[in-house]
Amino acid sequence: MAAQEGAATVWPRPLDAGWQCLTTRAGECATPADWPAEGWLAASVPGTVAAAWRAAGRLDIGHPPAFQQDDHWYRVQITGHGTQRLRLHGLATLAEVWLDGEKLLDSDSMFVAHDLDIALEGHATLALCFRSLAPLLAARRGRARWRPRLVNPPTLRNVRTTLLGHMPGWCPSVEAVGPWRPIEWLGDAPHAFDTIDVHTSLDGDDGIVSFTLTFVREQAATEAAQLSCSGAHAALAWRDARTLCGELRVPGVERWWPHTHGAPTLHALSLQLGDETFDLGRVGFRTIEADHGDDGNGFALRINGTPVFCRGACWTSADLVTLAGQPDELARWFALARDAGMNMLRVGGTMVYESDVFYRLADEHGILIWQDFAFANFDYPGDDAFLASVTREATQFLARTRRHVSLAVTCGGSEIDQQAAMFGLTPEQREQPLFTQHLPALVARERPDIQYVTNSPSGGTWPFGTRSGITHYYGVSAYQRPMTDVRRSDVRFAAECLAFANIPDDATLHDGLGTIHCHDPRWKAAVPRDPGAGWDFDDVRDHYVQAVYGHEAARLRYEHPQRFLDLARAVVAELMTEVYAEWRRAGSRCGGALAWQFQDLRPGAGWGVVDSLQRPKSAWHALAQAFKPVHLGITDEGLNGLDLHMVNETAQPLDATIELLCLRDGAVKVAEASRAIELAPRSARTVSAADCLGRFFDFTHAYRFGPRPHDVTIATLRDRTSGAMLAEAFHLPEKRALERHDLGITAKLEATPEGWQLVLQTQRFARYVYVADAHYVASPNWFHLVPGRPRTVALAPHGETARRAPPEGEIRAINASATVFYP
């Protein structure tokens, strides 16, 4: 039937081989009969025109062509007999489908799927045409009440396409054109499946599976069918000749949890139909509730009745060119998110609806997903045709993801209400029924088990205010506020926060960017900026290098470039650590915070906490400590000294000891104390450092009775029985004290059955130890090293070169006068 050979099956089969694509001037080819003979490229489906150009070596991602200004054709030869059903999961964006010169379909949204029943008698040519958006973008469709600067052109408000590629200063202008989602033939076996709808819920401790299966063709309704899950079975009933449905109860089912709070348990689901058994994948069971706080103005999630502090980052794309990425690439991204302790990723309205593989991996890794509908910044049309298109788009997405327990929050879109408010509109003037009435009704109908938020940010007279609802918190970062702003702002939930131009490690700067110099055009091209602003996010980060460390970044750049890089990386780690310690402490009203962003879209100092080559940056390493389920944080309370904030998110009580150690000159003990601490399951507790010590000591150097008595306070939480370290936190009363010394750092490289590792030791306290290796990734990295406490650092190979050579690199610390080399 399709271009590739294969046995008949009940499952959809991909039509993914043999495709070619061709770019023509807009309107040059009205039909396939007008095609030129030359110029065709091999093309991948699913894929984009940009992906085909990249594979052919024709794409300069830094200066891509305006793909949406031209027409683009795809073609493939197919073979079959009789009526066959074709499913096109996503066509970007103004698309036509042709069969042997006859047009079968027009589509004007990249976010909807289409089914076509095609009559075949032997060989045929299937063609797709992606028309230029230029005429549509030139036309006006109603008058917008505001025009955002983020997106160009403003008439994109009328088009159902992603804003990726249309945000100057955010990412390369790679425009989405082509069959970006799979194209499939539905199975041609007698039992060929059309749709499988699975929804899970809980009734007390029992899991409920609601199931509906539709077939492509009518079936013999007398055939017995049974659904099975986790040892439970239920007979299914025929609703009609094409539909099986039923409900299965799984007694005492083990629940799915975010990985930070328990096991993300999934259960195999299978269908017995006559003599055949079909694997239907795995499902999970959980409940999600919103907690709006005592005043009704907050936002937090309860999973299975348990409060969950949501932390993670905003997702961009696994591959800007294809908008999807390969499954193995996605798996590596999710492993990085899990290993950093993230339990939530947000897919913003400027992006796309993510793939089935994305949601399956989120289920497996125990990571909650906040998914915006694909709207951002604009005053959108409200006419019937637009609403009908959105209804189809939203309904398909909600139905497609209904089986996935990781989907926790859907949101009307990104910064729409904020844009209107900043233009001076009142709440009544800026309301869009699409977000306050239409979408919430669809979510309530299709996914009553998840939460809906009208906009991000939203809540309060100013939707971007921090003390109510959802905010985008950039007080620390873009607005260059001091750390004291974090507590003053009283953030309830930050769906975005902490945007910096995060500098990749040395290997990525050399291999991916080709320079370590911040004023090189290659560097600046990758630095994000807001359109129209007289600054970029390099400037934001450099402000904090000055504010926190007292060093003028511009001078450091040209006098000591390596020193600049180290301090610029360290200051971001410093800020991430302190902000999340504030938000996670007992007494904080913050229900969650997601860093902006998870990954870079190109090499350079982008927003991502992981670079485009999948190497973690200093921010990732700081978050990996700040996000641990058992967490210890320190806050400077001025004249009240230091507070120690302990969090136990596990289901088990902790019998622990909190230890305090204050050092002068990085090695001399000047104060020391320990105290037994019991932490109940799912609890947070704060104790005063003064109470632990039991006498006066100027931990914060607030009283200034003479010289500063110490350099650093080290707090350690240990298991009382085993002595194992559970968590560690540090406070430096004077961060600007960056004198460099011979710290006596030693490194021993060891081979283990799992791979390579370094054992590091120091004679004096070492600040932000950084292991730099061209072919290996160190974990942990960007950490403080305490004298007398050996630290083991695992070295994981990165790329094929690493697998052929042992580790070889260097170790630096921001207060070390010398670099240590290994092996």
The answer to whether the peptide bond before residue 148 is cis (omega within 30 degrees of 0) is: no
Are residues 72 and 169 located together in one domain of the fold? yes
262, 316, 591, 667 from 365: Cα distances, Å? 11, 18, 21, 41
689 has pLDDT over 70: yes
- Give CA–CA dist 106/90, Å, rounded: 12
Task: Determine what percent of the chain is predicted with pLDDT higher than 70.
Answer: 99
- Give CA–CA dist 349/378, Å, rounded: 11
Task: Determine what percent of the chain is predicted with pLDDT higher than 90.
Answer: 88
Are residues 545 and 488 located together in one domain of the fold? yes
Answer yes or no: are the C-beta atoms of 347 and 369 closer than 8 Å.
yes
Confidence of residue 2 (pLDDT cuts 50, 70, 90): very low
Last residue of a domain, one of 169, 185, 201: 185
Confidence of residue 734 (pLDDT cuts 50, 70, 90): very high
522, 554, 562, 607, 649 from 518: Cα distances, Å? 9, 9, 11, 15, 41
Are residues 622 and 636 located together in one domain of the fold? no
Please choose, from the candidates 590, 418, 574, 558, the residue with its C-alpha nearest in 3D space to the C-alpha of residue 500.
574
Collapsing DSSP states into helix, strand and coil, what is residue 562? helix
Are residues 766 and 796 located together in one domain of the fold? yes
Query: Tokens 């025109």 sit at which residue?
Result: 49
Answer yes or no: are the C-beta atoms of 270 and 264 closer than 8 Å.
no
Last residue of a domain, one of 185, 201, 232: 185
Query: Tokens 């958006």 sit at which residue?
Result: 133
Please choose, from the candidates 328, 473, 347, 467, the residue with its C-alpha nearest in 3D space to the C-alpha of residue 404.
347
What would the pLDDT profile of 233-242 be if each residue is shown by its tens digit? 999 999 999 9
Average pLDDT estimate for 428-437? 93
* DSSP per residue, 135-152: HHHHS--S--S---SSSS
- Give CA–CA dist 662/671, Å, rounded: 5
6 has pLDDT over 50: no
Are residues 596 and 489 located together in one domain of the fold? yes
Answer yes or no: are the C-beta atoms of 230 and 270 closer than 8 Å.
no
Count up the domains in the chain and report the number.
5
- Whichever domain contains 390, its CATH number is 3.20.20.80
313 found inside a domain:
yes
Confidence of residue 1 (pLDDT cuts 50, 70, 90): very low
- The range of the structural domain enclosing residue 109 comes to 13-185
- Whichever domain contains 233, its CATH number is 2.60.40.10
Are residues 464 and 602 located together in one domain of the fold? yes
What would the pLDDT profile of 513-533 be if each residue is shown by its tens digit? 888 888 888 999 999 998 878
- Whichever domain contains 176, its CATH number is 2.60.120.260
30, 40, 70, 371 from 129: Cα distances, Å? 10, 14, 11, 30
Q: What is the identity of the amino acid at 465?
A: G
Question: Please, what is the average pLDDT of the chain?
Answer: 95
What is the pLDDT, as a whole number, of residue 4?
34
Of the CA atoms within 13 Å of residue 162, those in its CB half-sphere come to 30
Average pLDDT estimate for 635-640? 96
738 found inside a domain:
no
SS (H, E, C) 389-455: HHHHHHHHHHHHCCCCCCEEEEECCECHHHHHHHCCCCHHHHCCHHHHHHHHHHHHHHCCCCEEECC
88 has pLDDT over 60: yes
Rounded (5°) CA angle 305-306-307: 125
662: left (phi over 0), alpha (psi -120 to 50) or beta: beta
485 has pLDDT over 80: yes
Collapsing DSSP states into helix, strand and coil, what is residue 815? coil
**How far is it between the farthest Cα atoms of the chain?**
94
430 found inside a domain:
yes
- Higher pLDDT: 620 or 533? It is 620
The answer to whether the peptide bond before residue 463 is cis (omega within 30 degrees of 0) is: no
The answer to whether the peptide bond before residue 153 is cis (omega within 30 degrees of 0) is: yes
324 bridge partner residues: none
Phi, psi (deg, nearest 5) at residue 664 = -110, 145
8 has pLDDT over 60: no
What would the pLDDT profile of 750-806 be if each residue is shown by its tens digit? 999 989 999 999 999 999 999 999 999 999 999 999 999 999 999 999 977 666 788
Last residue of a domain, one of 227, 262, 283: 283
Tell me the two tokens of residue 17: 């081989």
Answer yes or no: are the C-beta atoms of 291 and 276 closer than 8 Å.
no
5 has pLDDT over 60: no
58 found inside a domain:
yes
- Give CA–CA dist 681/654, Å, rounded: 7
Are residues 67 and 204 located together in one domain of the fold? no
299 found inside a domain:
yes
393 has pLDDT over 50: yes
Tell me the two tokens of residue 371: 């998914």
β-strands 494-497, 471-473 pairing: parallel
187 bridge partner residues: none
740 found inside a domain:
no
725 bridge partner residues: 718
Are residues 143 and 230 located together in one domain of the fold? no
Average pLDDT estimate for 641-653? 97
Tell me the two tokens of residue 273: 């139909």
What is the pLDDT, as a whole number, of residue 530?
87
797 found inside a domain:
yes
What is the pLDDT, as a whole number, of residue 119?
92
573 found inside a domain:
yes
Indicate yes or no: pTM above 0.75: yes
What is the pLDDT, as a whole number, of residue 325?
86
Are residues 348 and 363 located together in one domain of the fold? yes
Tell me the two tokens of residue 444: 């309530």
Are residues 18 and 163 located together in one domain of the fold? yes
Are residues 418 and 553 located together in one domain of the fold? yes
Are residues 507 and 639 located together in one domain of the fold? no
Answer yes or no: are the C-beta atoms of 783 and 767 closer than 8 Å.
no
Tell me the two tokens of residue 482: 């001091």
Please choose, from the candidates 261, 258, 316, 309, the residue with its C-alpha nearest in 3D space to the C-alpha of residue 284.
258
334 has pLDDT over 90: yes
What is the pLDDT, as a whole number, of residue 802?
64
Answer yes or no: are the C-beta atoms of 305 and 287 closer than 8 Å.
yes
What is the pLDDT, as a whole number, of residue 3?
35
What is the pLDDT, as a whole number, of residue 801?
67
